[in-house]
Amino acid sequence: MDKNAELIRAMIRYDTGMPKQIQHFLKVYEFAHLIAVGEGIREQTRQTLETAAIVHDIGIRNSLKMYGDSDGKHQEQLGPEEARTLLQNLGYPEVQIRRVEFLVGHHHTYTDIEGDDYQILVEADFLVNLYEDGESEKAAEAVREKIFRTKTGKDICTRMFGLKPEA
Ligand SMILES: [Fe+2]
């Protein structure tokens, strides 16, 4: 089976009974893929990004169990270990697992974003969260201005939310 499809199926099993989580990560995965292709990101980085996008919220289940919430910081704290276990079981290479652990552990941290995989994961997550959280046009504009860096991500954000083009 295709590697991403295999991982998606494993995440669907992990998120059993949590359709919102499953629909969320599938959308983030597709936007991440679209942005990476639009930006001409090299294959290896795109693979790492897509892997991270599929598992990025894996900390939520344990965060709900331990803290009763899905706070971003709790997710960042609990996610990497869960991601490692899942990816190791599927035979992912160690170097990729390490980067995915880092990305899972930082995907709610918006200072010092370094690397195309990190930047695009954050943009893809915002594209989905702005919609799922019913944020205003103003909020979407602010995020586009402050967080988004890629041309493709900005374009998708502008069109999807019907924003004015950037000044
Ligand atoms: Fe997310």
Distance 160 CA to ligand 1 centre (A): 18
Distance 76 CA to ligand 1 centre (A): 11
pTM (two decimals): 0.95
Distance 56 CA to ligand 1 centre (A): 6
Distance 28 CA to ligand 1 centre (A): 7
Reading the block at residue 103, the tokens are 């990305």
Domains identified in the chain and CATH numbers: 3-160 (1.10.3210.10)
Whole-angstrom distance, CA of residue 133 vs CA of residue 119: 21
What are the pLDDT digits (tens) for 40-97? 999 999 999 999 999 999 999 989 988 988 888 888 888 999 999 999 999 999 999 9
Reading the block at residue 44, the tokens are 């290896």
